[in-house]
Chains A and B, each alone.
Chain A
Amino acid sequence: MEFVYSDEERMMLQMARGFAEKEVKPIAKEVDKEHKFPAANVKKMGELGLMGVSVPVEYEGSGMSNICYAIAIEEISRQCASTGVIMSVNNSLACDPIKIFGTEAQKKKYLADMASGRKLGCLGLTEPNAGSDAANLQTTAVLDGDEWVINGRKIFITNGNEADYCVLIASTDKTQGHRGISAFIVELDNPGFSVGTLEDKLGIRGSSTAELVFEDCRIPKENLLGEIGKGFKVALTTLDGGRIGIASQALGIARAAIEDATAYAKERVQFGKPIAQLQAIQWMLADLSTHYEAARLLTHRAAYLKDQGQPFGKEAAMAKLMAAETAMKAATQGIQILGGYGYTTDYPLERYFRDAKITEIYEGTSEVMRLVIATNVLK
Chain B
Amino acid sequence: MSIVVCAEQRDGSLRKITFEALSTGKRLAEASGETLKALLIGNGIAGLADELKKYGVDEVAVVDNAALGAYTADAYAAVLAAYVAQENPALVLFGHSSFGKELAPRAAAKVDCGLVSDCIDINFADGDYLFKHPVYAGKAIGNYKVAGPVRMATLRPNVFPIVESAGAGAVVNFATDIPAAKVTVTGTMMASGDRPELTEADIICSGGRGLGGPEGFKLIEALADALGAAVGSSRAAVDAGWREHAAQVGQTGKVVSPNLYVASGISGAIQHLAGMGSSKVIVGINKDGEANIFNVADYGVEGDLNKIIPALIEKLKELQ
Residues of A near any B CB (own CB < 8 A): 26, 264, 267-268, 341, 346
Q: Size class of B's contact patch?
A: under 10
- In the complex, which residues of chain A have a beta carbon less than 8 angstroms from the beta carbon of B9? none
- In the complex, which residues of chain B have a beta carbon less than 8 angstroms from the beta carbon of A264? 290
B292 at the interface (CB under 8 A from A): yes
A26→B240 CA distance, assembly (Å): 9
A268→B289 CA distance, assembly (Å): 10
A116→B150 CA distance, assembly (Å): 59
A115→B290 CA distance, assembly (Å): 44
A264→B292 CA distance, assembly (Å): 10
- In the complex, which residues of chain A have a beta carbon less than 8 angstroms from the beta carbon of B290? 264, 267-268, 341
- In the complex, which residues of chain B have a beta carbon less than 8 angstroms from the beta carbon of A268? 290
Closest chain B residue to A22 by CB distance? B239
A264→B291 CA distance, assembly (Å): 10
A109→B239 CA distance, assembly (Å): 39
A268→B292 CA distance, assembly (Å): 10
Nearest 3 Cβ contacts at the A-B interface: A267-B290, A267-B292, A268-B290
A346→B288 CA distance, assembly (Å): 10
- In the complex, which residues of chain B have a beta carbon less than 8 angstroms from the beta carbon of A346? 288
Sample (9) of A-B pairs whose CB atoms are under 8 Å apart: A26-B239, A26-B240, A264-B290, A267-B290, A267-B292, A267-B295, A268-B290, A341-B290, A346-B288
Closest chain A residue to B236 by CB distance? A26
A264→B288 CA distance, assembly (Å): 13
- In the complex, which residues of chain A have a beta carbon less than 8 angstroms from the beta carbon of B288? 346
Closest chain B residue to A346 by CB distance? B288
A267→B291 CA distance, assembly (Å): 9
- In the complex, which residues of chain A have a beta carbon less than 8 angstroms from the beta carbon of B292? 267
- In the complex, which residues of chain A have a beta carbon less than 8 angstroms from the beta carbon of B295? 267
**Given known contacts A267-B292, A267-B295, A346-B288, what 6 new A-B pairs fall within 8 Å (CB)?**
A26-B239, A26-B240, A264-B290, A267-B290, A268-B290, A341-B290
A268→B290 CA distance, assembly (Å): 7
A346 to chain B, nearest CB (A): 8
A267→B288 CA distance, assembly (Å): 13
- In the complex, which residues of chain B have a beta carbon less than 8 angstroms from the beta carbon of A267? 290, 292, 295
- In the complex, which residues of chain A have a beta carbon less than 8 angstroms from the beta carbon of B240? 26
A273→B303 CA distance, assembly (Å): 24
A79→B303 CA distance, assembly (Å): 28
A346→B290 CA distance, assembly (Å): 12
B98 to chain A, nearest CB (A): 27
- In the complex, which residues of chain B have a beta carbon less than 8 angstroms from the beta carbon of A341? 290
B250 to chain A, nearest CB (A): 16
- In the complex, which residues of chain A have a beta carbon less than 8 angstroms from the beta carbon of B239? 26
A114 to chain B, nearest CB (A): 32
Closest chain B residue to A268 by CB distance? B290
A346→B286 CA distance, assembly (Å): 14
A269→B179 CA distance, assembly (Å): 62
Binary per-residue interface labels of chain B (234-271) against chain A in the complex, 1 for a CB within 8 Å, 0 otherwise: 00000110000000000000000000000000000000
A26→B238 CA distance, assembly (Å): 13
Q: Which of B239, B290, B292 gathers the greatest number of chain A CB atoms within 10 Å?
A: B290
A339 to chain B, nearest CB (A): 11
B48 to chain A, nearest CB (A): 46
A26→B241 CA distance, assembly (Å): 13
| Interfacial residues of chain B within 273-292, with CB under 8 A of chain A in the complex | 288, 290, 292
B289 to chain A, nearest CB (A): 10
A101→B288 CA distance, assembly (Å): 54
A26→B239 CA distance, assembly (Å): 10
A38 to chain B, nearest CB (A): 17
A341→B295 CA distance, assembly (Å): 19
Closest chain A residue to B295 by CB distance? A267
Closest chain A residue to B288 by CB distance? A346
A33→B240 CA distance, assembly (Å): 19
A19 to chain B, nearest CB (A): 15
A331→B240 CA distance, assembly (Å): 29
